[in-house]
Chains A and B, each alone.
Chain A
């Protein structure tokens, strides 16, 4: 309080109040502090039981504020006021009008700073020894005093890159020679750590290699005990039953839902009548998720790589470190995992883009660099995980597991190979070769590993081929886009007069006969029935889109079973069990139309829609269908709907930021074919049992709903009765406001009703009389 200050007079309480409000409106750190001060003082003065003493305290507080705000100006003012420019606290007390600020005699300040200003003291800078920012560089050349400056400049050049060096120390011997090690201090420990990381083992020249350590490391390594404690063996922690989900007694399936960019991942069990949430985790993945093909693992994507989760609690199984991996692929038997990181890891540029991992050991089996443009998955697996292959320039490379070497140590040379595909059930590869001058295009079936060509079909005027295996490997369809004219324009081939052939290979028959179906119309989609012998094709041009169903029979050309005309769909989704199919119009052009068809008698079970839907997914058993609108595609009305396979809506879930829904796959059934047939035959016998179970669940759920409603109603009625009572008590007042006319009910005051008859014009008829 040694500084000059001014004090304005506050004489009445009213004025005080006014001033206080003025003060509180100026918000500044000073104010806050002053307020604290004020309150603590108030506390003391309260203890003194003297109200008047408050005034000076408040005044003091106020004066502090004004001093801060207008110190300079006020000094001048004061000069003119009383000509005394060194007015201080002691003066205040001597002035009659000015209140007394000093503590009363005998007052003992028993409040510590910590009590008063704990929060401010917390911000007080702490001492650090600064040792963390010191590095020790060993292996520095030993030089005499004449060359020490030169050494310093060399050292500086190297180490200044990591941050500003605030201190350096070059120890010298008696004769002024440096000792070969130096100390450098950076402004921050981060710089020091960076310097250690990048200059340790730095070769200055042939004789001198730097050994760089943090100064703190010396104490750390000194503290290492002499005797080595062998690490304790960790008890084995199993993952529990990884197939737990298959033991569900009611065979309910699970599905995973991703919201946003993995903000939340939910695992649901599709219990009846309402699905139940099993697990929800936030930030479980950083992009999307993927189930393994048999449903054992859940894969999540992270910056550092891929993690797999298993078991009842979805505990972490293994991590596969591959920075920025964006695509993954499982081998069909879940032995291997392929990860692909298009950008790679900037920290480890030598790491290759594609890595194949052994899932169970977490070991990297082999890595590759992606070559040329290719569609994912680049590596394709045979059904039994024994082989995998990829197509290159004029070569087909087949690799073996578990050696991960090329089959017979060399790739298969096939000039002009464009694409290939494994049979889903046998070790057979189908590939196609494009036309080249005199050589026609062809589709070839190759047995692996003996490389026997078991069938080859030549094709002409081929623009493109698509290979579609039927899921049970019985048939192969190659969709061949053909042209009638071709022009070359600036290295671009332009085809015209396009038409399409379906080449059907009967895999299970001798010599593999091939049938051909021709279509003059453009093909929108093709899909095999997963089991059975039918396939469906969407063909035609908008708005004349048709859907045709064909059946393939032994020793016969495929026959057209049914043609649906003028349909609004662009995708086909067969039930995994066959027979049922959903015709869907996906995306913004599709309009979200949905048609549920039973292909047994070609009965359209339901025609409906889910506007703007982006995905359709069958559950693995073919009992349910989900349609979803993903926020990856559109921003409004995202969510998923669950339907029965007949197309009956079961549940609509509208979720903001809904991104992805994936059913958990199931492995193939363990029942023999005979057993399955038997079950199908006796379905009627099992039916009532499940029917009654379902009914029980339904009635239980509706009972719960009714109980909930009854409780809500009871609560509401209790609240209402109170309000109605008040309302009735006010009746007299309401009547007064409306001239004593009761308007509570429409017909409450029949005396006051005035009947008015209004005639309406209904219709006019003109009759002409002769």
Chain B
């Protein structure tokens, strides 16, 4: 089926996310204004206006009442989903690279970039009652990161641990009660751009600049599977209904001007989660894909690219009929 092309951003898409029910699709871009769309028909519901810099990360809580966005203007903002009004603003020392609500939605985590004299830091904040006071409230926990900066983050479904992916390829699991590192692993050789849970939050898939996406066990960070491509991988997602992994990426935006779309390999690629075999590709973007997400019902998926488009793809019936023999 023809994909829906969501053209509301003026610059490269940085992240896309569905809400829990999947009726809404949130997108952020370097053009400062996150958007929210009806995933069903691609109609734009609204924008979140207020950031002064590229928006790097977004999240929505499980009740779809509040929306988080972190940006290059050194702020993290909390928004009311229904009205699109800014209800909280936290100023930071450097760009906010990742942000997430906890499972309960009572807490949120965000991380800042390493910049000038400032170290990369992880902040856990209380977001039960957000108002203006949040801008000078102390965080619940603050973890300075001495080494490589955090480039992606995940929160477990018991509000107890977080997992961070780092610029050098490290994966670290943190205990939030003590603020200490529980375990870490180094399976990637390069920046981990994105991490996404499987449906039950026991495994997650990482997307790395080292041309691979990998599947890890959440409890002990054990490497389970590797999905190899020939280009940097920017994002990867796990189907909620099948053992499928979708991987998006492509040649770095920097090098793209000198190459054609064919060399860039800006396709979404589908892998079997267990066999690590590629079984399908979806073309369309004319720049690298920066973010992919499965609809929670598994019947469609979306991709956001450096070209500024979000493409919503509904799967054809052949996708549901396709089976691997084993």
Question: What residues make up the interface of A, taking CB atoms closer than 8 Å to B?
Answer: 611-612, 636-637, 654, 702, 706, 709-710, 712-713, 716, 719, 723-724, 726-727, 730, 733-734, 737-738, 743-744, 746, 758, 760-761
Docked-complex contact B202 and A727, CB < 8 angstroms: yes
Pairs across A and B, CB under 8 Å, 30 listed? A611-B262, A612-B263, A702-B325, A706-B325, A706-B326, A709-B274, A709-B275, A709-B325, A712-B274, A712-B326, A713-B274, A713-B275, A713-B326, A723-B202, A723-B217, A724-B200, A727-B200, A730-B157, A737-B106, A737-B159, A738-B103, A738-B104, A738-B105, A743-B20, A746-B21, A746-B22, A746-B296, A746-B297, A760-B40, A760-B43
Contacts of A712 in B (CB 8 A): 274-275, 326
Docked-complex contact B263 and A611, CB < 8 angstroms: yes
Q: How far is the CA of A316 from the CA of B62 in the complex (A)?
A: 70
Selected from B38, B200, B263, the residue in CB contact (under 8 A) with A636 is B263
Task: With A637-B230, A712-B326 given, name 7 new contacts (CB 8 A).
Answer: A713-B275, A723-B202, A734-B103, A737-B106, A743-B62, A746-B22, A761-B43
Q: How far is the CA of A734 from the CA of B21 in the complex (A)?
A: 17
Q: How far is the CA of A734 from the CA of B230 in the complex (A)?
A: 39
Contacts of A744 in B (CB 8 A): 200
Q: How far is the CA of A758 from the CA of B38 in the complex (A)?
A: 10
Contacts of B217 in A (CB 8 A): 719, 723
Contacts of A612 in B (CB 8 A): 263
Contacts of A713 in B (CB 8 A): 274-275, 326
Docked-complex contact A726 and B103, CB < 8 angstroms: no
Contacts of B274 in A (CB 8 A): 709, 712-713, 716
Contacts of B157 in A (CB 8 A): 730, 734, 737
Docked-complex contact B262 and A733, CB < 8 angstroms: no
Docked-complex contact A719 and B62, CB < 8 angstroms: no
Q: Which residues of B, 232-247, contact A by the 8 Å Cβ criterion? A: none
Selected from B20, B41, B43, B202, the residue in CB contact (under 8 A) with A724 is B202
Docked-complex contact B158 and A733, CB < 8 angstroms: yes
Given contacts A726-B202, A734-B158, A738-B62, contact A709 B297 (CB under 8 A): no
Interface centre among B105, B200, B275 (most CB of A within 10 A): B200
Shortest distance between the CB of B244 and any CB in chain A (Å): 14
Q: How far is the CA of A713 from the CA of B159 in the complex (A)?
A: 31
Q: B40-81, CB under 8 A of A: which get 1 and which 0?
A: 110100000000000000000010000000000000000000
In the assembled complex, B282 has its CB within 8 A of some CB on chain A:
no
The 9 closest A-B pairs by CB, nearest first: A709-B326, A737-B104, A723-B202, A716-B274, A710-B326, A727-B200, A760-B41, A611-B262, A737-B103
Q: B209-247, CB under 8 A of A: which get 1 and which 0?
A: 000000001010000100000100000000000000000
Q: How far is the CA of A462 from the CA of B211 in the complex (A)?
A: 55
Contacts of A611 in B (CB 8 A): 262-263
Q: How far is the CA of A742 from the CA of B234 in the complex (A)?
A: 32
Question: What residues make up the interface of B, taking CB atoms closer than 8 Å to A?
Answer: 20-22, 38, 40-41, 43, 62, 103-106, 157-159, 200-203, 217, 219, 224, 230, 262-263, 274-275, 296-297, 324-326
Contacts of B20 in A (CB 8 A): 743
Q: How far is the CA of A404 from the CA of B258 in the complex (A)?
A: 55
Shortest distance between the CB of B144 and any CB in chain A (Å): 20
Given contacts A737-B158, A758-B38, contact A637 B326 (CB under 8 A): no
Contacts of B43 in A (CB 8 A): 760-761
Selected from A637, A723, A761, the residue in CB contact (under 8 A) with B219 is A723
Closest chain A residue to B104, Cβ basis: A737
Q: How far is the CA of A737 from the CA of B101 in the complex (A)?
A: 12
Shortest distance between the CB of B152 and any CB in chain A (Å): 22
Contacts of B297 in A (CB 8 A): 746
Q: How far is the CA of A719 from the CA of B223 in the complex (A)?
A: 12
Shortest distance between the CB of A720 and any CB in chain B (Å): 8
Shortest distance between the CB of A588 and any CB in chain B (Å): 11
Interface centre among A738, A760, A761 (most CB of B within 10 A): A738
Q: How far is the CA of A256 from the CA of B20 in the complex (A)?
A: 54
Shortest distance between the CB of A159 and any CB in chain B (Å): 56
Contacts of B106 in A (CB 8 A): 737
Contacts of B324 in A (CB 8 A): 709
Q: How far is the CA of A424 from the CA of B133 in the complex (A)?
A: 91
Closest chain B residue to A758, Cβ basis: B38
Q: How far is the CA of A200 from the CA of B239 in the complex (A)?
A: 81
Closest chain A residue to B274, Cβ basis: A716
Q: How far is the CA of A709 from the CA of B158 in the complex (A)?
A: 34
Shortest distance between the CB of A732 and any CB in chain B (Å): 11
Contacts of A724 in B (CB 8 A): 200, 202
Docked-complex contact B230 and A730, CB < 8 angstroms: no
Q: How far is the CA of A702 from the CA of B263 in the complex (A)?
A: 31
Q: How far is the CA of A760 from the CA of B45 in the complex (A)?
A: 11
Closest chain A residue to B106, Cβ basis: A737
Closest chain B residue to A609, Cβ basis: B262
Closest chain A residue to B277, Cβ basis: A709
Given contacts A712-B275, A737-B159, A746-B296, contact A760 B326 (CB under 8 A): no
Q: How far is the CA of A480 from the CA of B219 in the complex (A)?
A: 75
Given contacts A734-B157, A758-B38, contact A719 B224 (CB under 8 A): yes
Contacts of A746 in B (CB 8 A): 21-22, 296-297
Docked-complex contact A654 and B230, CB < 8 angstroms: yes
Q: How far is the CA of A738 from the CA of B61 in the complex (A)?
A: 11
Contacts of B103 in A (CB 8 A): 734, 737-738
Shortest distance between the CB of B38 and any CB in chain A (Å): 7
Shortest distance between the CB of A496 and any CB in chain B (Å): 36
Interface centre among B105, B157, B219, B297 (most CB of A within 10 A): B157
Q: How far is the CA of A336 from the CA of B274 in the complex (A)?
A: 56
Closest chain B residue to A702, Cβ basis: B325
Shortest distance between the CB of B175 and any CB in chain A (Å): 16
Contacts of A727 in B (CB 8 A): 200-202
Closest chain A residue to B22, Cβ basis: A746
Closest chain A residue to B324, Cβ basis: A709
Contacts of B159 in A (CB 8 A): 737
Shortest distance between the CB of A65 and any CB in chain B (Å): 27
Contacts of A737 in B (CB 8 A): 103-104, 106, 157-159
